[in-house]
């Protein structure tokens, strides 16, 4: 809401903002909103993935459940909506695939039967948390019409 409110304040136009993160059940929901900076402020995607894998070292697959969560906000004149998109998965024990970014090489999607990094952009967008959240935007816009 903070980003969307500021966008509306600065432009006077309807503003859309989102925040996303990876929640790992074994780690009590971490890294969560700190996903981009999990291994530190100047960490690379690889640093973050390596830290995650080290935290889950020797954790059995049935305890490696995780989800990507995206929360979106839309703010305008007398309008404030929030909604979310979720994609459930499992953190793999090793990196797989070369597409995408961030945690994609270790996020295995049961819906796809592969990691996000092994999926095409079209496949990933069909099941991703952001894709699901963006598809809900049409419902929000219908409410405003």
Q: Which residue has the tokens 């929640």?
A: 23
> What is the average per-residue pLDDT within 124-133?
95
User: Is 91 part of any domain?
Assistant: yes
Percent of the chain residues topping a pLDDT of 70: 100
**Partners of residue 41 on adjacent β-strands:** none
6-42, pLDDT tens digit by residue?
Answer: 999 999 999 999 999 999 999 999 999 999 999 999 9
> What is the average per-residue pLDDT within 49-54?
98
110: closest CA among 72, 61, 50, 58?
A: 61
C-alpha–C-alpha distance, residues 76 and 89, integer Å: 34
Sequential DSSP letters for 60-99: -GGG-EEEEEEEEEEEETTEEEEEEEEEEEEE-SS---SS
Residue 121 has pLDDT above 80, yes or no: yes
Q: How many domains does the chain have?
A: 1
| 73 CB-contact burial (10 Å; exposed 0-12 / middle 13-18 / buried 19+) | buried
User: Is 77 part of any domain?
Assistant: no
Q: Are 48 and 27 in contact (CB under 8 A)?
A: no
User: Is 4 part of any domain?
Assistant: no
Residue 144 has pLDDT above 90, yes or no: no
Query: Catalytic amino acids?
Result: 19
User: Is 108 part of any domain?
Assistant: yes
Q: Which domain holds residue 139?
A: 19-68+83-144
Percent of the chain residues topping a pLDDT of 90: 92
* pTM across the whole model: 0.90
User: Is 6 part of any domain?
Assistant: no
User: Is 50 part of any domain?
Assistant: yes
> What is the average per-residue pLDDT within 109-128?
96
Instruction: Assign residue 106 the CATH number of its domain.
Output: 3.90.950.10
Give the model's confidence band at 140: pLDDT under 50 very low, under 70 low, under 90 confident, else very high. Answer: confident
Residue 139 has pLDDT above 90, yes or no: no
């Amino acid at each position: 809401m903070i980003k969307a409110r500021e966008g509306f304040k600065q432009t006077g136009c309807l503003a859309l903002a989102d925040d996303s993160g990876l929640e790992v059940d074994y780690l009590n929901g971490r890294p969560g909103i700190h996903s981009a900076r999990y291994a530190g402020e100047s960490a690379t995607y690889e640093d973050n993935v390596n830290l995650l894998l080290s935290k889950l070292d020797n954790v059995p697959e049935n305890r490696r459940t995780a989800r990507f969560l995206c929360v979106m906000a839309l703010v305008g004149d007398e309008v404030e909506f929030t909604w979310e998109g979720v994609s459930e998965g499992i953190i793999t024990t090793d990196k797989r695939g070369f597409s995408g970014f961030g945690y994609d090489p270790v996020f295995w999607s049961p819906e796809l039967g592969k990691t996000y990094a092994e999926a095409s952009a079209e496949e990933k967008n069909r099941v991703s948390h952001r894709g699901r959240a963006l598809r809900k935007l049409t419902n929000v816009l219908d409410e405003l019409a």
